[in-house]
Structure 1
Amino acid sequence: MTPEIALQLFGDAFYLTVVMVAVIVGPSLGVGLIVSTFQAATQINEQTLSFLPRLLVTIGTIMVTGPWLIQELTDLFNHLMIIIPEVIG
């Protein structure tokens, strides 16, 4: 395996990891910001008020984007299986 192939494989896997995390965590961060702004404006300091909406949005995001995320992961896995002869030599 040449260093170029190894770097390309690691780069593809790292990029997919970053995209998957961003898709799942991004909406949760947005909802957390909105809830925190609401809590600061009303001076309500309830922990469940900040936790529950983020949990629901994260679960909803996984339900909506789950098929796409699995498809991207299986595409990367299939690509890795196809290039095994090239990697071996």
Structure 2
Amino acid sequence: MEADRALNLLDDMLWNCLIVAGPVLLATLVVGVLISILQVATQMQEMTLSYVPKLLVAAMLLILLGPWMIARITDFARGLYLVIPTLAS
């Protein structure tokens, strides 16, 4: 396998990881910042107030976007398996 091909596969893998994990991470980041602003404004320092909304948002997004995420990862894995025979040459 040439170095260019390996680097292209690695680049594709990293982009797929970013695209699949990005929406959930971004949503939990936004919710976390909003809850932190709310806690600072109200001076309520309850730990569950920060974890529960982020957990609910992450779970909801995983349920809604789960089929798309699995399809994207499956397509990438299928592409890798199809590339295997061409690596020997």
Partners of 2:87 and 2:4 lie apart in 1 by 10
Tell whether the 8 Å contact from 1:27 to 1:58 is kept in structure 2 after alignment.
yes
| CA apart distance, 1:8 | 0.8
**Structure 2 residues without counterparts, runs of 5 or longer:** none
Partner AA of 2:26 in structure 1: G
Partners of 1:36 and 1:47 lie apart in 2 by 10
Q: Once superposed, which parts of structure 1, at least 4 consecutive aligned residues long, lie more than 3 Å away?
A: none
Count of equivalent residues: 89
Partners of 1:9 and 1:86 lie apart in 2 by 13
> In the alignment, what sits opposite 1:79?
79
| CA apart distance, 1:86 | 1.4
> In the alignment, what sits opposite 1:24?
24
Q: TM-score, normalised by structure 1?
A: 0.95
Instruction: Report sequence identity in percent.
Output: 34
> Which structure would you say has the larger RCO, counting Cα contacts within 8 Å and 6 or more residues apart?
1
**Structure 1 residues without counterparts, runs of 5 or longer:** none
